[in-house]
Amino acid sequence: MSFDLLSTVEEGGCSAKLGPEVLNKLLGRLNFEIDKNLLVGIDTHDDAAVYKLNEEQALIFTTDFFPPVCSDAYTFGQIAVTNSLSDIYAMGGEVLLALNLIMFPTQKIPLQVLEEILNGGQDKINEAKGLIVGGHTIEDYPPKYGLAVLGLVHPKKIVTNAKAMPGDVLILTKPLGSGTIMAGKRLGLIEDQDYVSALNYMKQLNKEAREIMLRYQVQAATDITGFGLLGHLSKMALASKVYLHLDIDKVPFMKGALELTDEGCIPGASFKNQKFVESQALRHTLKNCNYSRKMLLYDAQTSGGMLICAKEEIAQQALNCLRITYPESAIIGKVSK
């Protein structure tokens, strides 16, 4: 049925996440238990937790949910699930089981809209070869949807944000700009074809990127979501104790995103991400970068691409494989001591 979900929100998708600076301060005051089988925990701010079951198997555990990122209910369901599964792929895992997380106002929005959201999500979990086995639903406005997900990975094949090595090449698989495009849609500033193109990027699973990472024995990666490219790069730099050098001219942007930023259409989440990155104890410089490009590097991505650290000798081969499924994949930088 026709119901515009964007009419319920001011910030949707990953733009609605708590800012990374606030989150870091909060987590820094909490005490987390240590377990020898917890192979990846909260300390490196990685994409998901990994818990060793035995010498051959480890569980990946993650969750993600958010308010509507687009107008159409079925498409929102597809994007929310694609985004939730992305953390599993970023850790090198395969999707096993998922639980629906649903917040929906049955007195304000027709129930058929929720049915369409869930149908969109189910189609994406089917594409991922995973199983939705239940969930939890509460009354809430605006609506929100996502998953809690379990994945599986070999303990010696975990991909993390803490294994970037000097000499690695940085590959980005999807262009940036989804947060800005969605803001432009809410303001009526974006061309329809650019809006649809952005939705198609967000609906695309990172499953094939995971397969290529395993094929080329990639050890370090992260998916680019709510903290923007520079936010996730800063977390990787700190976790891996390396410098990450970005060639800004090589970074791909979604069609229409730069034009929107030139017109002053910059989501609030971009400024939150900028404040976080600039607060880190890093040598952080942006040389020869105009303002619009800089703010898109902070743009909160919903269901964004993978940032992959590939060995220099196989980087071009990996890029060629990635471009079959993700045509705008690009080498955007390198890692150094």
Count of structural domains within the chain: 2
pLDDT score recorded for residue 156: 94
Q: Are 199 and 120 in contact (CB under 8 A)?
A: no
| 321 included as an active-site residue | no
> Domain check: are 184 and 332 in the same one?
yes
For residue 319, tell me if it sits in a domain: yes
> Domain check: are 182 and 322 in the same one?
yes
> Domain check: are 191 and 126 in the same one?
no
> Domain check: are 122 and 178 in the same one?
no
pLDDT at residue 102 above 70? yes
> Domain check: are 189 and 323 in the same one?
yes
For residue 330, tell me if it sits in a domain: yes
> Domain check: are 176 and 144 in the same one?
no
pLDDT score recorded for residue 279: 79
Average of pLDDT values for 271-292? 76
pLDDT at residue 289 above 90? no
C-alpha 71/C-alpha 141 separation (Å) is 16
pLDDT score recorded for residue 43: 67
For residue 286, tell me if it sits in a domain: yes
pLDDT score recorded for residue 36: 86
- Global confidence as pTM: 0.91
pLDDT score recorded for residue 276: 85
pLDDT score recorded for residue 136: 96
Average of pLDDT values for 306-334? 97
> Domain check: are 209 and 143 in the same one?
no
Domain that holds residue 47: 5-153
For residue 204, tell me if it sits in a domain: yes
Domain boundary among 107, 126, 153: 153
pLDDT score recorded for residue 16: 65
CATH number at residue 228: 3.90.650.10
> Domain check: are 213 and 102 in the same one?
no
For residue 164, tell me if it sits in a domain: no
> Domain check: are 142 and 212 in the same one?
no
Query: What count of other Cβ atoms lies within 10 Å of the Cβ of residue 276?
Result: 22
C-alpha 23/C-alpha 234 separation (Å) is 15
> Domain check: are 244 and 96 in the same one?
no
pLDDT at residue 103 above 90? yes
pLDDT at residue 318 above 70? yes
For residue 229, tell me if it sits in a domain: yes
CATH number at residue 52: 3.30.1330.10
For residue 123, tell me if it sits in a domain: yes
For residue 25, tell me if it sits in a domain: yes
Catalytic residue among 14, 70, 265, 309: 14
Q: Which of 21-35, 46-60, 250-264, 303-317 is predicted least confidently?
A: 21-35
pLDDT score recorded for residue 8: 85
Residue that wins the pLDDT comparison between 42 and 283: 42
pLDDT score recorded for residue 284: 58
pLDDT score recorded for residue 277: 87
Q: In which band, very low, low, confident or very high, does the pLDDT at 153 lie, cut at 50, 70 and 90? A: very high
> Domain check: are 17 and 85 in the same one?
yes
Q: Which of 92-101, 280-289, 299-308 is predicted least confidently?
A: 280-289
List the one residue out of 227, 224, 230 whose CA is nearest residue 209: 224
Domain boundary among 153, 177, 197: 153
% of the chain exceeding 70 in pLDDT: 88
Chain-wide mean pLDDT for the chain?
Answer: 91
C-alpha 303/C-alpha 315 separation (Å) is 23
> Domain check: are 179 and 295 in the same one?
yes
pLDDT score recorded for residue 35: 78
Q: In which band, very low, low, confident or very high, does the pLDDT at 18 lie, cut at 50, 70 and 90? A: low
% of the chain exceeding 90 in pLDDT: 76
List the one residue out of 25, 9, 18, 21 whose CA is nearest residue 76: 9
DSSP calls for 253-270: B-TTHHHHHHTT---HHH
pLDDT at residue 2 above 80? no
Q: Are 210 and 231 in contact (CB under 8 A)?
A: no
pLDDT at residue 232 above 60? yes
Residue in the structure block whose two tokens are 């379990």 = 150
Domain boundary among 98, 120, 153: 153
pLDDT at residue 76 above 70? yes
C-alpha 259/C-alpha 273 separation (Å) is 21
